[in-house]
Amino acid sequence: MKYISTRGQAPKINFSDTLITGLASDGGLYLPENYPQLSTESLEKLRDLSYPDLAFAIMKLFIDENDIPHNDLKVIINKTYTKEKFSYTRECQDSKDITPLTKVDNHLYLLSLSNGPTLAFKDIAMQFLGNIFEYLLHKKNKALNILGATSGDTGSAAEYAMIGKKGVNVFMLSPRGKMSPFQTAQMYSLHDNNIFNISIDGFFDDCQDIVKGVSNDLEFKDKNQIGAVNSINWGRIIAQVVYYFKGYFSSTRSSDELIDVTVPSGNFGNICAGHISRMMGLPIRKLIVATNENDVLDEFFKTGAYKPRASDDTYHTSSPSMDISKASNFERFVFDLIDRDPEKLRSLWKKIDQGESFDLSNTGYFGKVSNYGFTSSSSSHQNRLHFIKLLHEKYNLIIDTHTADGFKAAFDHFDQSEEIPMVVLETALPTKFEETVMEAIKLKPPRPDGLSNIEQLPQRSFEIENDINQVKQFIESHS
Ligand SMILES: *Cc1c(COP(=O)(O)O)cnc(C)c1O
């Protein structure tokens, strides 16, 4: 299996190189040359597998034996998806499922994805990435300095995945004083030698601009072996494909049944994995994109116009991990939508990269969006409060603000009488966004054991001005 860039001007590479490279040299994103196809019979054979065995069965379809020997892949997967690492589930303390499914109502389900160390779905992919990076760097006798920017969840998931990994340092930029106390504590309470929290005097966008600036300095990047684990990394997408299969098998009895899936979305990484599962033959009828007030994706799926907004026009909402107005992974879906025409894709993204927009409404392409199952909804702070309250009062479940956006969208599209399972993906545990949950239900959501006093632990961060040169100096002197 080779990987091609959506923009068609970068060499084809194998799986392991997509992990280290991240963005293709032509600015595009990597996708497999084709999607492996699974028939109803082959799906049926996967139905009863444990999570790690399912992960192996799916991921090996995307990875050549001579790139990563499949026995090694199996070891990495078995080391990643353990009960110990993914143990924080509220209902299923002993679940071996990794991503347990809860029945909410007839034909309505919640797929828990937030049982990893940082209590958000990003752990599922990031923990895998941490282990496979360590393996690859050891094999290639290389080291890597991972540079990233975070507004909260990505940074902690990356750091918890890279703690103690040989050959890897993490330099994570975060905006000083702009994250929730829990998120800050999760990151800054880490004192490991290979983790550097850089607290920038500025906003998230300033942090992201510094990261982009450093990555565009190819000489510096090469010399200092700078890598990234952001959401365009193919390794993250492929790890996320697995739980769509798991959710499908848990909510159906035979592999000719259809399901609908609702996904709280920001950078389109999570739902992109849903798209790929569907392209592989997983019987998903609808893929419902849930956005918050930052609704550029909802606008596209309703009108055909994709109009990313500048960071100044991005709202700060109570589901902050979805406060994104330019969805990086959306390029992967559009590539498939326009029949994988790289020239056409380049002309569309030329506009996006210049800060403009594109509109497919008058092309044949927009009519085909529904062939891919996509539909969407957006939600507001009031909607979030309503659905957190509803789920608690009616179903005795406490959900976080992002998952609440998911339920808002799911109910917009759910028709119980159709008897088609609606699976809502849970993207974080409520304790991460305690303030809004308390506003809705006047109750403090439960916290996993061991995290109750996290805000009181000693914190370490390196304070740096909003200045790219100072960040570069810091990396050079600490790597
Ligand atoms: C990252 C994140 C999202 C958005 O996921 P994408 O893959 O960027 O679409 C939603 N909810 C939570 C809690 C997140 O951390």
Give residue limits of the domains in the chain: 101-119+235-441
Of all protein residues, whose CA lies closest to atom 8 belonging to ligand 1? 267
Class of domain 101-119+235-441: alpha beta
CA of 106 to the centre of ligand 1 (A): 27
- CB proximity list for 53: less than 8 A, separation 6 or greater: none
Tokens, residue 295: 């609704």
Contact 337, 393 (CB under 8 A): no
Q: Is 403 in the pocket of ligand 1 (CB under 6 A)?
A: no
pLDDT digit string (tens) for the chain, length 479 residues: 999 999 999 999 999 999 988 888 898 999 999 999 999 999 999 999 999 999 999 999 999 999 999 999 999 999 999 988 998 655 554 556 899 999 999 999 999 999 999 999 999 999 999 999 999 999 999 999 999 998 878 899 999 999 999 999 999 999 888 888 898 999 999 999 999 999 999 888 789 889 888 888 889 988 999 988 888 899 999 999 999 999 999 999 999 999 999 999 999 999 999 999 999 999 999 999 999 999 999 999 999 999 998 877 888 899 988 988 889 899 999 999 999 999 999 999 999 989 999 999 999 999 999 999 999 999 999 999 999 999 999 999 999 999 999 999 999 999 999 999 999 999 999 999 999 999 999 999 998 888 888 999 999 999 999 999 999 999 999 98
CA of 469 to the centre of ligand 1 (A): 30
**Which of 113, 267, 318 has most ligand 1 atoms within 8 Å of its beta carbon, as the pocket-test mutant?**
267
Identify whether 122 is a catalytic site residue.
yes
CA of 376 to the centre of ligand 1 (A): 16
User: pTM for the whole thing?
Assistant: 0.95
Task: Give me the residue label for tokens 């389109």.
Answer: 268
DSSP string, 248-295: HHHH-SSTT--EEEEEE-SSSHHHHHHHHHHHTT--EEEEEEEE-S--
Integer Cα distance of 235 and 128 in angstroms = 8
Which amino acid would we find at residue 75?
A: V
CA 405 to chain centre: 16
pLDDT value, residue 173 = 96
Contact 79, 108 (CB under 8 A): no
Which amino acid would we find at residue 445?
A: P
**Which of 270, 288, 300, 431 has most ligand 1 atoms within 8 Å of its beta carbon, as the pocket-test mutant?**
270
Integer Cα distance of 435 and 259 in angstroms = 33
Work out the number of other CB atoms within 10 angstroms of the CB of residue 64: 14
Q: Is 297 in the pocket of ligand 1 (CB under 6 A)?
A: no
Q: Is 273 in the pocket of ligand 1 (CB under 6 A)?
A: no
CA of 231 to the centre of ligand 1 (A): 9
pLDDT value, residue 177 = 85
Q: Is 426 in the pocket of ligand 1 (CB under 6 A)?
A: no
pLDDT value, residue 91 = 54
Q: Is 265 in the pocket of ligand 1 (CB under 6 A)?
A: yes
Tokens, residue 101: 């499914």
Q: Is 402 in the pocket of ligand 1 (CB under 6 A)?
A: yes
13 DSSP 8-state letter? B
CA of 100 to the centre of ligand 1 (A): 19
**Which of 288, 322, 434 has most ligand 1 atoms within 8 Å of its beta carbon, as the pocket-test mutant?**
322
Integer Cα distance of 245 and 240 in angstroms = 10
Integer Cα distance of 452 and 396 in angstroms = 22
Which residue from 240, 233, 275, 277 is spatially nearest to 51, judged by alpha carbons? Answer: 240
CA of 264 to the centre of ligand 1 (A): 7
For residue 184, give the H/E element and its range.
helix 181-188
CA 48 to chain centre: 25
Of 2, 96, 122, 344, the active-site residue reads 122
pLDDT value, residue 161 = 96
Buried b (16+ CB within 10 A) or exposed e, 347-375: ebbeebeeeebbebeeeebbeebeeebbb
- CB proximity list for 133: less than 8 A, separation 6 or greater: 19, 144, 162, 165, 168, 229
Full 3-state SS string of 114-176? CCCCCCECHHHHHHHHHHHHHHHHHHHCCCEEEEEECCCHHHHHHHHHHCCCCCEEEEEEEEC
Integer Cα distance of 206 and 202 in angstroms = 6
pLDDT value, residue 22 = 84
